[in-house]
């Protein structure tokens, strides 16, 4: 009854404004996987020295509804959108190097950001991937300090703002291979700083799996 009242007072709107559900079947058909890979040589050219690979589930050109879906997930706090977006990442996960026993590590939010949002979107995406692929999720990292929004910052500004902002959690069991999970990677700065902390702790290979890059 309470949910029905909420739906009446605040009707669900889909990505294109249709009433009744967060994602229509027609919209879901457009949220499909078009994987992209940034190999090690490309990342080094971009100045990312610790991250070994980025695999993106899709791109904004092939999935024009992606921006709206991510905004609904993160800022409208629609947790159920995580399963829709997780499916896009699952389609690209076969392009990861998993010859070693890799574990999934969601990129952490600072506790103040997580408290304000109510959840960490990377944790939900990692859970979807783990359920589908049978991979283990480990929370290996924590944010040592808030870094503020990265929107509008240039690459060097992002790298500087994030430097030293991640720490490996105390008593973490360090695997040889880690797959970092996040929603969007713009410059790769966040994934790079996570990779720096992990490699300093002894991880050999660090890859990133995101919805989209750029």
Residues 20 and 48 in one domain: no
Residues 102 and 11 in one domain: no
Residues 48 and 73 in one domain: yes
Look over the chain and give the mean of its residue pLDDT values, rounded to a whole number: 87
Name the residue range of residue 202's domain.
33-213
Q: Is the pLDDT of residue 8 over 50?
A: no
Residues 206 and 176 in one domain: yes
Residues 4 and 92 in one domain: no
Residues 14 and 84 in one domain: no
Q: What is the pLDDT of residue 32?
A: 87
pLDDT digits (tens, 9 = 90+) for 194-213: 999 999 999 999 999 999 98
Q: The domain that contains 79 carries what CATH number?
A: 3.40.50
Alpha helices in 10-154 (DSSP H): 25-28, 40-45, 66-74, 81-90, 111-117, 121-133
Residues 17 and 110 in one domain: no
The number of domains in the chain is 2
93 touches 133 (CB < 8 A): yes
Residues 207 and 128 in one domain: yes
Q: Is 187 exposed, middle or buried (0-12, 13-18, 19+ CB in 10 A)?
A: buried
Give the C-alpha separation, 67 to 164, whole Å. Answer: 29
pTM: 0.87
pLDDT digits (tens, 9 = 90+) for 145-193: 766 665 556 666 666 667 778 999 999 999 999 999 999 998 999 999 9
Of residues 18 and 183, the one with the higher pLDDT is 183
Q: What is the pLDDT of residue 198?
A: 97
């Amino acid at each position: 009854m309470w949910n029905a009242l909420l739906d009446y007072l605040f009707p669900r709107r889909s990505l294109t404004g249709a009433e009744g559900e967060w994602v229509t079947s027609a919209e879901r058909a457009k949220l499909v996987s078009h994987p992209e890979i940034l190999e090690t040589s490309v990342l080094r050219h971009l100045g990312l020295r610790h991250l070994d690979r980025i695999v993106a589930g899709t791109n904004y050109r092939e999935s024009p509804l992606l921006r709206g879906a991510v905004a609904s997930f993160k800022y409208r706090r629609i947790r159920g959108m995580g399963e829709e977006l997780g499916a896009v990442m699952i389609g690209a996960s076969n392009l990861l190097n998993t010859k070693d026993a890799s574990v999934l590590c969601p990129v952490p939010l600072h506790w103040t950001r997580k408290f304000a949002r109510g959840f960490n979107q990377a944790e939900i995406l990692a859970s979807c991937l783990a359920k589908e692929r049978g991979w283990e999720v480990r929370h290996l990292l924590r944010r040592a300090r808030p870094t503020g929004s990265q929107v509008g910052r240039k690459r060097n500004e992002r790298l500087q703002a994030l430097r030293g902002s991640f720490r490996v959690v105390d008593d973490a069991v360090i695997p040889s291979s880690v797959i970092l999970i996040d929603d969007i990677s713009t410059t790769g700065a966040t994934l790079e700083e996570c990779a720096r902390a992990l490699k300093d702790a002894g991880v050999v290979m660090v890859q990133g799996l995101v919805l989209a890059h750029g």
